[in-house]
Amino acid sequence: MSDITAGDRPAIEPPDAEQPKSAPDDRATAGPLDESEANAVRPYVDLGGVKILPRPDLHLRLEVEEGSKRVVAVGLDYAGSTLQVQPFAAPRTSGLWHEIRKQIVDQIHKQGGTTKEAVGVFGPEILAEIPVAAGQPGGNRLARFVGVDGPRWFLRGVIAGEGVTNRDAAAQIEDLFRSIVVVRGTTPMPPRDLIPLHMPATGQQGGVPE
């Protein structure tokens, strides 16, 4: 997995001034939701920092760091697309997405890829063409990087597959991203630290982690 799509902390310097939050106007009702905003009786799959609502044909996998065996991202396969999500701690009043987008663009360009900024349903996003790793089949791969600033958290998503180029598939994967619940918790954490993720409890629905 490229460092662009998975990592435990976006490696950027704190901005000189507070950045505004970047999120849809209806985020608090349409998602992605904070745990305090979610319906407590819905059958979510609890993965620690995020909760996922099961749906037909949704396959869940956890991305694990080889050395530490720590879960660093959640992968969701759905409607011909893949969605990788990571929740990060964030300041209460300011956002992270405007600064993190700059980091992502810089890293992709260093890898020889290209980027284009666009505005989607979540606000600013990045459309990227990224060279595949040496030894893997294919030339470049296409990806969309989306982000939403919530209350004391930031949720980053990386979309690949049909959800990059097909409008109907994009709508389905965007709806999936909207349905995610972020669990920030009360433990003090530095901004940009990955909110801990873990395996789901035995017997929960939503797919078996690979």
Neighbouring-strand partners of residue 34: 182
Say how far apart CA 3 and CA 24 lie, in whole Å.
27
Residue 125 has pLDDT above 50, yes or no: yes
Alpha-carbon distances, residue 30 vs 6, 22, 121, 191 (angstroms):
26, 15, 11, 25
Q: Is the separation of the CB atoms in 108 and 128 below 8 Å?
A: yes
Q: Please state which architecture CATH assigns to domain 27-162.
A: 3-Layer(aba) Sandwich (3.40)
| pLDDT of 40 above 90 | no
Task: Tell me the domain boundaries of the chain.
Answer: 27-162
| Contacts for 147 with CB less than 8 Å, ≥ 6 apart | 22, 96, 97, 100, 101, 122, 123, 124, 125, 154, 155, 156, 157
What is the per-residue pLDDT for 6? 53
**What pTM does this model have?**
0.86
Whether residue 68 is predicted with pLDDT greater than 50 in this model: the reply is yes
